[in-house]
Amino acid sequence: MSLPQPVRLVLGGLIFIGLVLAALSGQALVLCGAALLLASVVWPLGGRWYLVPPLAFGLGYLVVAARFPFDVMDWLGVLLALLGLAGLTRWYLTGVRQSARMRNVMRALEEGSAKLSVARDSDGMIRAGIETLERLKVAPHLAFVAYKRGTPHIMGARGNFRPFLEHPILPEDGDSRSVHADHWVADHALKLLTPPERAHHLVVPVSGMSEQQIGLLLLARPGQPFAGSDETVVKSFARLLGLALGQWHAIRELRDANELTLKSLGAALEHRDDETGGHTGRVEALSVQLARRLGWTEDRVKALRWGAYLHDLGKLAVPDAVLHKAGPLLPEERLVMQRHTVLGYDMLQELHFLPAETLDLVRYHHERWDGTGYPSGLSSHDIPATARVFSIVDVYDALISVRPYKPAWSKERALAEIRLQAGRQFDPQYVDAFLYMMAEKDDARLVR
């Protein structure tokens, strides 16, 4: 039964008084029983309360021995009682340490799991993993080894592995025949420590969801060998780390596949709209540069880039007679051409992984700052930011490129037109940033 702390303190005080009275009256057996009872009451209080029962028992027997005659059997009883209390105290302290250790392990694993869940990339997950192992206090020297560009590197480190962070692990003789063997990598990584520092070590594989190995955890320490419980804890956390890293790698591969698919689709569109060969690649590169100059996050930059790949997707539904017409479009033909923004937007509705800002660019990249654009006549900041940035780059590239209805403009003439359209067709703030960026490009070319 669990007793509240105040109740334990009161009971402990009463038992202690009984123990004192037993000592003063020479009741050795009562003294022994009172000491054991006192231990059962005060030890759960923690701290230094574990010292009270054996000290009280020892002092009590000294009082008994001083006031009452003792024979050999009495002294033997005292010795046995003291040994029993000492054994119980040691057992209790061992339990306390194990309990504290388990609490620390659970807390470290819980916090480590939370850090892994919020890490944005593999580097963040590796840092969180190494920090968690450090909190587990299993070993002072820790390393996470993984492959980077085909070569094993120390990607996370603590203790005396730290100076070798990002350090490649290579064969001493340049022979790469076993560069992918775990034992070889672990042996060479451990040799970065001195023999005393690596006197005892653990090498634990870290694997993803499909059991594909992602890396190795290396733990080294001097002194005592690793206990079985240490290895169990480390392996448990290695599984947790492996699942997190494996999931991240799977998501990254999916994103890379999405990126490649969208880029390929953009390239395929150019083969139909053959007048704009290379247009998609140019506007994608230039709009990404402008977005980064504006301080956009990489997520927004990605949304812009994907929109650049897909911005003219709706032209798939525009008849060739309109799309490839050499002369000016008739009013009804212009309406057909203008529908490509909404058609492209509608075509992409089932691709749920596309960010809203990507879809906004596809639909609204022909809107104008003054509200005279299409398809919705939006104006000013009502036009989504991705569309405002992209429209500048899209028009600029169209101006400097050959079209069936016009020759290519010079760069200077095109930039002058962009400047003229600030506050009319384009966001004036974004135009300033674009012109400044293009001027810097010219300066850089002059320097080279």
Q: Is there a single domain that holds both residue 63 and residue 138?
A: no
Give which of 125, 138, 133 is closest to 109, Cα–Cα: 133
Convert the chain into a string of H (helix), E (strand) and C (coil).
CCCCHHHHHHHHHHHHHHHHHHHHCCCHHHHHHHHHHHHHHHHHHCHHHHHHHHHHHHHHHHHHHHHCCCCHHHHHHHHHHHHHHHHHHHHHHHHHHHHHHHHHHHHHHHHHHHHHHHCCCHHHHHHHHHHHHHHHCCCCEEEEEEEECCEEEEEEEEHHHHHHCCCECCCCCCCCCCCCCHHHHHHHHHCCCCCCCCCEEEEEEEECCCCCEEEEEEEEECCCCCCHHHHHHHHHHHHHHHHHHHHHHHHHHHHHHHHHHHHHHHHHHHHHCHHHCCHHHHHHHHHHHHHHHCCCCHHHHHHHHHHHHHCCHHHHHCCHHHHCCCCCCCHHHHHHHHCHHHHHHHHCCCCCCCCHHHHHHHHHCCCCCCCCCCCCCCCHHHCCHHHHHHHHHHHHHHHCCCECCECCCCHHHHHHHHHHCECCCECHHHHHHHHHHHHHHHHHHHHC
What pLDDT, on a 0 to 100 scale, did the predictor assign at position 34? Answer: 75
Q: Is there a domain that residue 109 lies in?
A: no
Q: Is there a domain that residue 329 lies in?
A: yes
Q: Which amino acid is at 360?
A: D
Q: Is there a single domain that holds both residue 133 and residue 63?
A: no
Q: Is there a domain that residue 378 lies in?
A: yes
Q: Is there a domain that residue 113 lies in?
A: no
Q: Is there a single domain that holds both residue 283 and residue 418?
A: yes
Q: Is there a domain that residue 411 lies in?
A: yes
Q: Is there a single domain that holds both residue 376 and residue 303?
A: yes
- 333-359 burial, b at 16+ Cβ within 10 Å, e below that, comes to beebbbbbbbbbbeebeeeeebbebbb
Per residue in 86-98, pLDDT (tens digit) is 666 666 556 556 6
CATH code of 180's domain: 3.30.450.40
Q: Considering 102, 135, 170, which residue would you say is the last residue of a domain?
A: 102
What pLDDT, on a 0 to 100 scale, did the predictor assign at position 432? Answer: 97
Q: How many domains does the chain have?
A: 3
CATH code of 406's domain: 1.10.3210.10
Q: Is there a domain that residue 337 lies in?
A: yes
Q: Is there a single domain that holds both residue 244 and residue 124?
A: yes
Q: Is there a single domain that holds both residue 391 and residue 427?
A: yes
Per residue in 393-442, pLDDT (tens digit) is 999 999 998 877 778 999 999 999 999 999 999 999 999 999 999 998 76
Give which of 423, 431, 363, 370 is closest to 395, Cα–Cα: 431
Report the distance separating Cα 306 and Cα 360, nearest Å.
11
Stretches where the chain sits below pLDDT 70 are 1-2, 28-29, 36, 40, 43-47, 50, 57, 61, 64-106, 108-109, 116, 171-182, 272-277, 442-448
Count how many Cα atoms sit within 13 Å of the Cα of residue 43 in the half-sphere of its side chain: 19
Q: Is there a single domain that holds both residue 98 and residue 124?
A: no
Q: What range defines the domain where residue 59 resides?
A: 5-102
Q: Considering 50, 71, 102, which residue would you say is the last residue of a domain?
A: 102
Report the distance separating Cα 10 and Cα 91, nearest Å.
25
What pLDDT, on a 0 to 100 scale, did the predictor assign at position 317? Answer: 87
Q: Is there a single domain that holds both residue 320 and residue 365?
A: yes
Q: What pairs with residue 158 in β-bridges? A: 142
What pLDDT, on a 0 to 100 scale, did the predictor assign at position 417? Answer: 96
Report the distance separating Cα 262 and Cα 267, nearest Å.
9
Q: Is there a domain that residue 268 lies in?
A: no
Q: Is there a single domain that holds both residue 201 and residue 132?
A: yes
What pLDDT, on a 0 to 100 scale, did the predictor assign at position 7? Answer: 79
Q: Considering 102, 127, 161, which residue would you say is the last residue of a domain?
A: 102
Q: Is there a domain that residue 256 lies in?
A: no
What pLDDT, on a 0 to 100 scale, did the predictor assign at position 224? Answer: 87
Q: Is there a single domain that holds both residue 36 and residue 94?
A: yes
Are 21 and 31 in contact by the 8 Å Cβ rule? The answer is: no
What pLDDT, on a 0 to 100 scale, did the predictor assign at position 178? Answer: 45
